[in-house]
């Protein structure tokens, strides 16, 4: 049987103030607004095969993370990629973005850290690339 799904198309993120969130995501992730409606917006990295980000304004923000009861760790459902974890983390702190601790494996330098958007949605960034990325 052939696969009907080839990749992730869009990641949807709940926000309480669309204008503020557009400013945050375009600045922090350097994405472009490709559509902006009254209560939602589509953002793009402008790279083939990379999902778009769909911001949806809503009165109820439930977040985009979960608590792993096996390890007692808060996980995000979105990991962004950067080649330079330390530089990006420093830059985020300079922008007054709330960031978590830098977690890097001492032997291979691979790891990541978490940060929050204006609504407290927990996001992550990693320097790990997997096969076919």
- Does 1 fall in a domain? no
Pair (19, 74) in one structural domain: no
Query: By C-alpha distance, which of 79, 77, 80 is closest to 65?
Result: 77
Q: Do 79 and 112 contact (CB within 8 A), yes or no?
A: yes
Pair (101, 48) in one structural domain: no
Share of the chain above pLDDT 70, in %: 98
Per-residue pLDDT, 73: 85
- Does 4 fall in a domain? no
**CATH code at position 88:** 3.10.180.10
Pair (106, 121) in one structural domain: yes
Pair (82, 121) in one structural domain: yes
Per-residue pLDDT, 109: 87
Pair (119, 72) in one structural domain: yes
Cβ-proximal residues to 87 (8 Å cutoff; 6+ apart), any chain: none
CB atoms within 10 A of CB 47: 7
Pair (67, 128) in one structural domain: yes
Query: By C-alpha distance, which of 67, 53, 50 is closest to 25?
Result: 53
Could you report the per-residue pLDDT of 48-71, keeping only the tens digit for each? 889 999 999 999 988 788 989 999
CA 131 to chain centre: 20
Per-residue pLDDT, 30: 95
- Does 28 fall in a domain? yes
Structure tokens at 12: 């949807």
Are β-strands 32-36 and 40-44 bridged in parallel, bridged antiparallel, or unpaired?
A: antiparallel
Per-residue pLDDT, 3: 77
Domains contained in the chain, number: 2
Pair (26, 76) in one structural domain: no
Per-residue pLDDT, 128: 93
Residues of the chain with pLDDT under 70: 1-2
- Does 38 fall in a domain? yes
Separation of alpha carbons 107 and 82, rounded Å = 19
Separation of alpha carbons 11 and 43, rounded Å = 10
Phi-psi region of 26 (alpha: psi -120 to 50; beta: other; left: phi over 0): alpha
Separation of alpha carbons 105 and 90, rounded Å = 19
Q: What is the DSSP letter of 51?
A: P
**117 is in which domain, residue-wise?**
63-133
């Amino acid at each position: 049987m052939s696969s009907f799904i080839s990749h992730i198309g869009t990641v949807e993120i709940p926000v309480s103030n669309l204008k503020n969130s557009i400013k945050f995501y375009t600045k922090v992730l350097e994405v472009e607004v490709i559509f902006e409606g009254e209560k939602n917006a589509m953002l793009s990295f402008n790279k083939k095969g990379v999902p778009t980000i769909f911001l949806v304004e809503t009165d109820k923000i439930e977040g985009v993370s979960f608590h792993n009861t096996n390890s007692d760790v808060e996980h995000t459902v979105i990991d962004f990629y950067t080649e330079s974890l330390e530089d990006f983390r420093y830059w985020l702190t300079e922008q007054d973005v709330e960031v978590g601790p830098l977690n890097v494996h001492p032997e291979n330098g691979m790891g990541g850290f978490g940060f929050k958007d204006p609504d407290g949605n927990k996001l992550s960034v990693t320097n790990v690339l997997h096969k076919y990325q």
